[in-house]
A and B are shown apart, each in its own frame.
Chain A
Amino acid sequence: MAAAGGTGTKTYSFKVVLLGEGCVGKTSLVLRYCENKFNDKHITTLQASFLTKKLNITGKRVNLAIWDTAGQERFHALGPIYYRDSNGAILVYDITDEDSFQKVKNWVKELRKMLGNEICLCIVGNKIDLDKDRHVSVEEAESYAESVGAKHYHTSAKLNKGIEELFLDLCKRMMETAQAEERLKGNGASQSASSRRGVQIVDDEPQATPAGGCCSSG
């Protein structure tokens, strides 16, 4: 799904999942980004679970689809169904809540294991307006992000800080990844075959190996 090819202007379609513990501000972040509202009773959108945004980055059109995920612990096992085929993941924690940062670390491990390096990871420390109650140190968070090949951002949905930058930066990185992939696959025809269904594709033996093919994707 990364790139819709063709000779004219390309339109990139990206899927980004929002992951993180409940109450860290996932919904607030997207509503701020897509509707520019915070804790507003007059929000017109019927739902905040699937939102889209159209961007134009250096002359390329980007359709961004932001998928909210159910953050309750009992739904944790459903993660893989949500984040499969994602181009990016935004892992949110609350800077005043140490636990929520630990949850982010768990997500990173799981994502890297399941999706490898093809997914662009963003670790986001939200609620920086509450800096006086900070429980996760900036250095620790940033060095952790670097160690796992993720980028770190500081945001406040309340004050509308750092959010535009976060999404713009993520889109640019996803475009680079998609372009690198295109170059790798050569141009034109064969590119489309691999981006088919725009998903992480697992090569299988033709039909020689029977059944049992339910093993994890390396």
Chain B
Amino acid sequence: MSQRTERRGIHVDQSDLLCKKGCGYYGNAAWQGLCSKCWREEYQRVRQKQIQDDWALAEKLQREEEAAYASSHGAQAQSHSQTAVPQLHPGHASLGAFSKFEEKKTNEKTRKVTTVKKFFSPSSRTPPKKDTQEGRTPSPSISRHASFETDQVSKEFVEFLKNLQKPGREIHKQCRAFIMNMSSKKELSADELSECVQDFYQNMADRLMSHFKGSSESVERVMDQVEKYIMTRLYKSVFCPESTDDERKDLATQKRIRALHWVTIQMLCVSMDEEIPEVSEDVVKAITDIIEMDSKRVPRDKLGCITRCSKHIFSAIRITRNEPASADDFLPALIYIVLKANPPRLQSNIQYITRFCNPSRLMTGEDGYYFTNLCCAVAFIEKLDAQSLNLSPEEFQRYMSGQASPRLHSSEGDWPQSGVTAANPVLAQLNHNLERLSLVSSRQQMLMEAAQSMQADLLSWPEGVQREVSGVLEKYPLQILPRTVSAMDANNADSDGPPPLLTAQVFAG
């Protein structure tokens, strides 16, 4: 059998995926077939103006925002005007609980790196590129839409803080100052950026904790909003920053997943039966959710996508096995979904969440559990070998090189399992399709025959009717009997018998 026909799925030529400029990196449809570097170069000039416009807009909005805030808090702002003079430096905040903000920051200058980050970014500690011209240019993907979204988030944030009264103003000020501060630190490495944001979260949470007298629910509620506001604004500059090799890792993972296209649901021992319509629906939804993660800007929203994906997986397992899914069921299923989805910029997204998510969500919460499983899935995919799929090294090698494809056992397609197990899924599908085609063709023939006989019947029917009618006419020619009008009238008036015409007919029949 020809090796060429054994490839499953849509065949994409490697060259179609490469950057149109021929630099050797992968291109992306969203960047008009260029890689991110070439795209940046290509559009830098054009975008420069728009970036300036955006900044102008952002500043304008900022002024409006603060004006809006001030007017909505006229009373409080006044009562504070003696102490809280407009400040340029965040360190001189006036509200008691927040006053040690900057001081605390300096106390924590010693770098502390969590094991989390160590695990996922061993190489992100490389010092930032110093040669980057005029610092980090905002990603070209910024658009009017993004600006609009940012504006919306800012407005919502202000609205939310209004409910908090006094501290709301202070929180707003701290966040503003922090964002300004961050935009001036273009030369920081990804880890340092992460440290800054995490320090900010920590300090903010501490202040809020004493303000809310230890009610962690209230703190979390505010922290979610703080994260949303800050990260919406910082996203452009801190997602997949140039100082890291996130992009390279993304491409490597994407390529790896593509190379593993032959892995079947059976090899992973996944307890999801895709032949059940509800299950296959859940699988599709799970894939959609995990792909959607890349489109979100707030870490928590990205986490939300992972959580929704996981819930669909649980539902699929529950339907298949009729019992709640344990980790033994969940992890393989998630791996399968990731392999099927090949989510865009998977590594960048994981790094971004690890670096910039509010830690309390990530560490103990349910979202954190699913995120951890996603990290496990990615780690598994990276390291996956013959043993992890219960294959012999030779088999694994043949599948990886595309020389052979695993046999299809079941449930990989939407047709019922037939007795014949073809050597590979394409042939199986071909056989199956041929079978179906011949079935359809014979049924079509029957249909044609039936139609033709019906047509013949239809054609002969009027003839038959005509023949009968003329036969009858011949047998019983119409006779018009002579009669007088006056006699009929007289009969009608006086007798009980039938009228003469009917009488005549009766005689005639």
Interface residues of A (CB under 8 A from B): 1, 4-11, 13-15, 22, 26-27, 31, 41, 43, 45-50, 52, 63, 65, 67-72, 74-75, 77-78, 80-82, 84-85, 189-190, 192-193, 196-207, 210-214, 217
Contact = CB atoms under 8 A, between A and B. Distances in A.
A1 B364 contact: yes
Contacts of B37: none
A196 B311 contact: no
A206 B109 contact: yes
A69 B324 CA distance: 14
> Which one of B110, B323, B332, B370 has the highest number of Cβ atoms from chain A below 10 Å of its Cβ?
B323
Interface string B360-381: 1011111001101001100110
A214 to B, nearest CB: 3
A70 B198 contact: no
10 contacts: A4-B209, A13-B364, A46-B314, A46-B315, A49-B329, A50-B366, A70-B331, A70-B332, A71-B327, A213-B113
B484 interface: no
Given A63-B364, A70-B332, A196-B359, A210 B214 contact: no
A115 to B, nearest CB: 9
A69 B330 CA distance: 9
Nearest to A216: B118
Given A4-B214, A46-B311, A203-B112, A71 B365 contact: no
**Interface range on chain B: under 10, 10 to 19, 20 to 34, or 35 or more?**
35 or more
Contact of B127 (A5, A11, A210, A217): A210
B331 to A, nearest CB: 4
Contacts of A206: 109-111
B103 to A, nearest CB: 9
B108 interface: yes
B383 interface: yes
B112 to A, nearest CB: 5
Nearest to B324: A48
Contact of A65 (B118, B323, B364): B364
Contacts of A200: 114-115
Contacts of A43: 323-324
B311 A192 contact: no
Contact of A7 (B107, B113, B114, B210): B210
B116 A46 contact: no
B324 A201 contact: no
A198 B123 contact: no
B314 A65 contact: no
B433 interface: no
B116 A85 contact: yes
Contacts of A192: 202, 205-206
B495 interface: no
A84 B359 contact: no
Pairs of residues from A and B, 4 with the lowest C-beta to C-beta distance, nearest first: A6-B214, A214-B122, A8-B214, A197-B359
Given A6-B210, A65-B365, A74-B387, A49 B327 contact: yes
Contact of B116 (A69, A78, A84, A212): A84
A1 B359 CA distance: 9
A45 B311 CA distance: 12
A8 B215 contact: yes
A85 B366 CA distance: 14
Contacts of B326: 26-27, 47-49, 68
B191 to A, nearest CB: 9
Contact of A15 (B311, B323, B324, B364): B364
Interface string B126-145: 11000000000000000000
A27 B326 CA distance: 7
B163 to A, nearest CB: 21
B248 interface: no
B210 to A, nearest CB: 6
A119 to B, nearest CB: 12
Contacts of A63: 364
A78 B374 CA distance: 11
Given A197-B198, A210-B127, A217-B115, A47 B330 contact: yes
B363 A198 contact: yes
B334 to A, nearest CB: 10
B115 A85 contact: yes
Nearest to B100: A189
Contacts of A69: 327
Contacts of B327: 49, 67-71
Given A15-B364, A213-B125, A196 B324 contact: no
B213 interface: yes
A6 B212 CA distance: 8
A32 B376 CA distance: 27
B179 interface: no
B422 to A, nearest CB: 28
B363 A78 contact: no
B3 interface: no
B104 interface: yes
> Which one of B109, B116, B315 has the highest number of Cβ atoms from chain A below 10 Å of its Cβ?
B116
B285 interface: no
Contacts of A71: 327-328
Contact of B363 (A31, A41, A77, A199): A199
Nearest to A202: B113
Contacts of B112: 196, 201-204
B503 interface: no
Interface in B167-211: 192, 198, 202, 205-206, 209-210
Contact of B376 (A8, A82, A85, A213): A82
B324 A202 contact: no
B44 to A, nearest CB: 30
Contacts of B318: 46-47
Given A6-B213, A70-B331, A196-B202, A50 B369 contact: yes
B115 A199 contact: yes
Contacts of B214: 4-11
A212 to B, nearest CB: 8
B332 to A, nearest CB: 7
B507 to A, nearest CB: 86
Contacts of B372: 67, 81-82
A41 B322 CA distance: 7
Contact of B123 (A13, A52, A201, A211): A211
Contacts of B365: 65
